[in-house]
Amino acid sequence: MQSGNLLEDPFDTYDQTGSVPPFWTENPGDIDGYWVVTRYADMRAVLRDSESFSSVNASIPHMPMEHPMLPTETDPPTVNKYRGILLPCMTPDKIDPMEMRMREVSSGLIGSFQGRGWCDVVEDFARIYPISIFVDFFGLPPGRSEEFREHAHTFLHEVPKRREEWAAIRAIVYEQLALKRTQPQDDLLSSIANGNVDGELIDLQDATNLASTVFLGGLDTLPSNFAWSISFLANHPEARRRIVDDPSVIPDAVEEFLRYFSVANPVRRAIRDVEVGGSLIRENDRVFVAISIGDRDPGEFGDAESVRFDRGTNRHLAFGAGPHRCLGSHLARHELRVALQEWHAQIPDYRPADNAQLSYHGGVLAMDALPITWDI
């Protein structure tokens, strides 16, 4: 599976693969090959089986770093200890009061370009909106939000620079954690800085690895999913009109866009020989869990190749499954709902810009740019 710059729509490429039995692939940019799992049932089995599959030393391409990404690069029971620090901050009781701020930020951004009749959805909105919310929630100085965003974007999309960007992110976060250990505030960084592991105050280096990972997780997947959603609506006016005429459908639309445009594909490493979908995966083989494909598996989803706001039960894996299921799912859903509501209240009719040349990134499947236009 590709990463880096892509000229073709990665979802179109993945659709050509389809939901098939696990298969082995070679990667010339990696130390070895790896398995690709594309069927929904196989993916769910891998993600939930922490006795057979590990998140430690599982990266594709293989690039071990001095300081692990916590809790991502840990396994049970350790992962549960770190998640226990984060979980109280991710509940609806903590997230829902942020809605006013979400509306203020999204409405202000949209209003800044609504009158000119065009924008780049990615650059003018999708990359700015979530970080503007996240810096307040996380407890980072808002004046440095652009600096943080650039570090995250480079880390996630330029693999050769990953080690140096991880060091830069950790340096920023360490400084803030040290401050909040002595001067705690009502934010996520303060909770991490003063969290407990096994009944003792978390080590500051572990806290830095944990907070840095959360920082990255909050800044990339949501912009990608929002851009794919707007791209679909720009090209399907009947679906866009339904959202404009009946905003109550937006929560279901969010779930369907999360399914249809699942942008994150986790990786695992087998820690024993195990059979998945009829294939024998050997100990230390790595596995690419292609949720971008499996969430379109016709064996799990009726009319899987179509976007349907009336799907009802929607057991997509956009947020993963098992012990590493995304803790930020409620925040992401809430941000996406508000953004789609505010967007279509101010810009109800729009279309792709003429002669727009789109390019994409692998890894977290993202658009580099999405130019659209509308009549004033």
Which residues fall within 8 angstroms of residue 292, CB to CB, at 6 or more apart?
10, 11, 14, 262, 263, 265, 365
Q: How far apart are CA 235 and CA 251, in angstroms?
A: 20
pLDDT band with cut points at 50, 70 and 90 for residue 140: confident
Q: What is the pLDDT of residue 215?
A: 83
Q: What is the pLDDT of residue 355?
A: 78
Q: How far apart are CA 157 and CA 167, in angstroms?
A: 16
Mean of the pLDDT values across residues 114-129? 95
347 sits in the region (left: phi over 0; alpha: psi -120 to 50; else beta) called: beta
pLDDT digits (tens, 9 = 90+) for 228-245: 999 999 999 999 999 999
Q: What is the pLDDT of residue 66?
A: 81
What is the H or E stretch that residue 352 is in? Answer: strand 351-352
Average pLDDT over the chain reads 92
- Map out the domains of the chain as residue ranges: 5-373
User: Is residue 353 over pLDDT 60?
Assistant: yes
pLDDT band with cut points at 50, 70 and 90 for residue 120: very high
User: Is residue 99 over pLDDT 70?
Assistant: yes
User: Is residue 28 over pLDDT 70?
Assistant: no
Q: Phi and psi (nearest 5°) for 366?
A: -135, 150
Q: Phi and psi (nearest 5°) for 275?
A: -95, 130
Are the CB atoms for 155 and 63 separated by under 8 Å?
no
Q: What is the pLDDT of residue 147?
A: 82
Q: How far apart are CA 191 and CA 87, in angstroms?
A: 10
DSSP-derived letter for residue 25 is E
> In this structure, what token pair is assigned to residue 119?
């924008």
Q: What angle do CA 123, 230, 117 make, to 5 degrees?
A: 65
Are the CB atoms for 79 and 324 separated by under 8 Å?
yes
Q: What is the pLDDT of residue 142?
A: 74
Higher pLDDT, 69 or 48: 48
Higher pLDDT, 2 or 102: 102
CA distances from 233 to 227, 236, 276, 372 (A): 10, 5, 37, 11
pLDDT digits (tens, 9 = 90+) for 250-259: 999 999 999 9
What is the H or E stretch that residue 214 is in? Answer: helix 204-217
Greatest mean pLDDT range, 5-14, 26-35, 316-325:
316-325
The CATH class, in words, for 5-373 is mainly alpha
Torsion sign over Cα 206, 207, 211, 212: negative
Q: What is the pLDDT of residue 270?
A: 98
